[in-house]
Structure 1
Amino acid sequence: MRFGRVPVAAGLAFGLVLSPMGAAVADPRPTLGQAKAKLDKLNDKADKVVDRFNTATERYKAAKGAYTKLNDRYKSKLATVEDLRTQVIGMAVDSYKLGTDLTSSLPGLMSADRPDDFLMRLALAGQLSRERAEKLAAFDRENRGLKVERDKAEEALEAADRERDGVEKERSEIMKLISEQKKLLKKLGAYNPGNPNSVGIQYTGPASGNAAAVLRFAYAQVGKPYVFGGTGPGGWDCSGLTQAAWRAAGVSLPRTTWQQWAWGASRKVSLSALQPGDLIFSSSLGHVSIYAGDGKIVHAPQTGDVVKVVKLSSYGGRLVGAIRP
């Protein structure tokens, strides 16, 4: 959501264009109101696309993680199969060195000169027979399992590639939006690049307990730039900031705005009963902020702006609800 960012003085940039009588007149520049309306539309669109980008990024990470685990299992099973293959080959070589197949050739056993030797070789033959059968069965079993693990890993890799393509698609759209936003903001004289090294401001509000830790962290980020997909420390997007702030209080939130809202399904609170630390969501779920108490919120607004503290009333009537982590 967007909060009173454009100074009235910036309207001068969109005043009447005076041209000599009879001279060719270029397309009229937008008025201040038109420029702000266009910026609001761009910001709302960017909110949705950034959340899709974050969601796609999380899916890609999950898919890549699944592939890594399956590929590790495949490599482990491959090593096991190779070890069993070596053992099976070794047994075949040993049998050859003995000059006979002790597991099936009675003459080889009967050639012993002494009864003790005969019994020993008979026991050895039985042991070799069982060992060979077990090794061959294990080799066959692991070898068949190898293909299964390889196929699973390949499927996971394909899924990760598809998710990566989704991330790149969203990233491409975001970069176009950012270019438009920056251009318009600079024309309005409202572009703020922020300071990635900002030390923020001190929180002195009414929060206590976990909420106090959340808000101390969030206030320490004030002045840092909004960065799409930003998870700090030098820049944030809205849900990246809320996730990190609550992490500072020992609570693990999902990454995206939509995921945080869904996560808090059983933790919803009335907008009339807000407490410091509560997360407030816009009606489109494209934006989330942290209630700071005293009618204020702290949030990372959008491209060309910085983490800031503003009045809750800046939201207007575009709220869907709040949750209390």
Structure 2
Amino acid sequence: MRFGRVPLAAGLAIATLLLPLSGAFADPKPTIAQAKAKLEKLNDKADKVVDRYNLATEKYKKAKKTYESLNSRYKSKMARVAGLRAEVVGMAVDTYQVGEFTSWAALLGDNDPTATLGGMALLDQMTAERAQVLAAFDAENRQLKTDREQAQGALTEADKLRDEVKSEKDKVLDLVEQQEKLLRRLGAYRVGNPNSTGIKYTGSASGNAASVLSFAFAQVGKPYQYGGTGPGGWDCSGLTQASWRAGGVSLPRTTWEQWSWGAKRRVSLDALQPGDLIFSEGLGHVSIYAGDGKIVHAPQTGDVVKVVPLSAYGRRLVGAVRP
């Protein structure tokens, strides 16, 4: 049998069919520009999800604290009710064993008027004391039920919020993984140093703003960490909260809460002063104005606390607050 030549076009078709499918139809890797664009969208989304996670965490902490307070009060009341119950039982036992020795018949049969009057006074006193114990027992017992229901309600709410925290955390972890992959592909992933001593602030701020910026600059080089409140890692609102705490002002925990807290402290972006908080559109991110057109902030996953020009912020701004 003799084989003839296979035409060129047919040979190429056969060769194509023999190629591994994964190689023949693999999606092209994204370009650097595409990866950067995707990262920017991820960062914006992560800002909002992290803030929701922080908000859920704060709500859970408050709910848990409320439950613990109510539960402590409930346990304390249980102990008081138990003590009153023991007194009531004791009164019942005494009455059963010795009878009403202070009955009117016993008092009137006494030939000593002074003793009779004394006995009547004792009767009034004992009756009042017993009535007081019984009334206290009844009132405490009724309140005990209310306290128990309140404690149970607080526990249910805390459990619900704990589940919400877990749900938001799962979303954060998924976004963090995507961010890390893109940053490593771009060669831009920065681990940071949790023990960084930062840099010295030498700007023009004075008063408590100087304390704020001195603290914030001392964090430069530490890693961004979602949910981070220091000292080894920070997220954006964790850094602003701690920095202003160093300046003597107590801020709420999340970006959204800080913006809401500052409703009457808003300032124009054209009149910024060192220490002012600058918020991004959508309230997903917050930074501190350092003066001279610069900000200090904890940017996003795979980056570190740093000082950058406001023009390089990379996010649309919605406004500023002066604590």
Of residues 79-88 and 299-308 in structure 1, the stretch that sits farther from structure 2 once superposed is 79-88
Tell me the amino acid that sits aligned with residue 65 of structure 1.
K
Counterpart CA distance in 2 for 1:309 and 1:179 is 25
Counterpart CA distance in 2 for 1:117 and 1:268 is 81
> How much is the aligned-residue C-alpha RMSD, in angstroms?
1.7
1:258 corresponding residue in structure 2: 256
Counterpart CA distance in 2 for 1:102 and 1:83 is 25
Q: Is 2:164 the counterpart of 1:166?
A: yes
Counterpart CA distance in 2 for 1:225 and 1:289 is 15
Counterpart CA distance in 2 for 1:307 and 1:317 is 16
2:186 corresponding residue in structure 1: 188
Report SS of the residue matched to 1:164: helix
Cα displacement (A) at 1:114: 4.1
Report SS of the residue matched to 1:70: helix
Cα displacement (A) at 1:71: 1.3
Question: Do 1:100 and 1:108's aligned partners in 2 also have CA atoms closer than 8 Å?
Answer: no
Question: Do 2:280 and 2:315's aligned partners in 1 also have CA atoms closer than 8 Å?
Answer: no
| Equivalent runs, 1:1-325 vs 2, <5 Å | 24-25=23-24, 26-97=26-97, 99-102=98-101, 105-110=103-108, 112=110, 114-315=112-313, 318-325=316-323
Identity of aligned residues (%): 66
Choose between structure 1 and 2 for higher RCO, CA contacts under 8 A separated by at least 6 residues: 1
Report SS of the residue matched to 1:297: strand
Q: What TM-score, normalized to structure 1?
A: 0.89
Cα displacement (A) at 1:122: 2.7
Question: Structure 1, residues 20-59: CA drift from partner, whole Å, max 9, x if none?
Answer: x966343210001110111111111110000000110111
Counterpart CA distance in 1 for 2:230 and 2:318 is 26
Question: Do 2:51 and 2:256's aligned partners in 1 also have CA atoms closer than 8 Å?
Answer: yes
1:7 corresponding residue in structure 2: none
Question: Do 1:102 and 1:125's aligned partners in 2 also have CA atoms closer than 8 Å?
Answer: no
Q: What TM-score, normalized to structure 2?
A: 0.90
Of residues 270-279 and 66-75 in structure 1, the stretch that sits farther from structure 2 once superposed is 66-75
Counterpart CA distance in 1 for 2:72 and 2:237 is 33
Cα displacement (A) at 1:90: 2.3
Structure 1 residues not aligned, in runs of 5+: 1-20
Counterpart CA distance in 2 for 1:306 and 1:37 is 20
Report SS of the residue matched to 1:322: strand
Question: Do 1:257 and 1:286's aligned partners in 2 also have CA atoms closer than 8 Å?
Answer: yes
Point out the structure with max Rg over C-alpha: 2
Question: Structure 1, residues 162-209: CA drift from partner, whole Å, max 9, x if none?
Answer: 111111100011111111111111111111010100000111111111
Structure 2 residues not aligned, in runs of 5+: 1-14
